[in-house]
A and B are shown apart, each in its own frame.
Chain A
Amino acid sequence: EPEVTQTPSHQVTQMGQEVILRCVPISNHLYFYWYRQILGQKVEFLVSFYNNEISEKSEIFDDQFSVERPDGSNFTLKIRSTKLEDSAMYFCASSLQGYEQYFGPGTRLTVT
């Protein structure tokens, strides 16, 4: 059964460093998303991506964040200068039609 994959599973970085989180969505899906979940809190929407451009972003998704689909299969989230409060689980999700979303296993980002 097709699934969304994410790498790495755990990333530790120092404050101020850049990180890139990688995702391989389900191959025929057209809509791509990033969410994050701070420990003990709700899953929060970050950004949606369709037709090679951002379709919506949340207030959290400021200039420090960017997304890219560089090669038609990978979907990346870059954080340019990490802060302590960026520590969270980051989930990638993909969808064929824009509403039924399938999530990856997540990347745990720890900023020290």
Chain B
Amino acid sequence: TQLLEQSPQFLSIQEGENLTVYCNSSSVFSSLQWYRQEPGEGPVLLVTVVTGGEVKKLKRLTFQFGDARKDSSLHITAAQPGDTGLYLCAGAAGNTGKLIFGQGTTLQVKP
């Protein structure tokens, strides 16, 4: 069974601080997606990483896919209260593209 473990599960920081969320597995994924989910809504795609070692930037967010395609990280620089939310990583497994989700990281950024 393929699993994705996210850490930390909860993170509460002050505005302006930097943070990193980790997503780890013992399995190889063909791609990995990061989503953000608001309460009662569907996950919203932030980024997809496909190649081992790939780094993608989205404004203050930096996403990295591990060389072996088993892990990923999300780094936020100078966090803002608007970054508050639930961040999910999801790995694509097999040929059908089914996603295996991590349990999520709840981020709270205090003004």
Contact = CB atoms under 8 A, between A and B. Distances in A.
- Chains A and B are bound partners: yes
Interface of A: 4, 6, 31, 33, 35, 41-45, 48, 50, 55-56, 58, 89, 91, 93, 95, 98-106, 108
Contact of A103 (B44, B95, B96): B44
Interface stretch (B56-64, B74-82, B97-105): B97-105
Contacts of A102: 45
A103 B43 contact: yes
Residue among B98, B99, B104 with max Cβ neighbours from chain A (10 Å): B98
A105 B101 contact: no
Contacts of A98: 92, 95-97
Nearest to A41: B103
Contact of A45 (B44, B88, B99): B99
B14 to A, nearest CB: 27
Contacts of B94: 56
A43 B96 contact: no
Interface string B45-56: 100101000000
Nearest to B104: A42
Contacts of B21: none
B45 A45 contact: no
Contacts of A42: 101-104
A43 B45 contact: no
Contacts of A4: 42
13 contacts: A42-B101, A43-B43, A45-B98, A45-B99, A48-B96, A48-B97, A58-B98, A91-B43, A99-B33, A100-B31, A100-B33, A105-B42, A108-B40
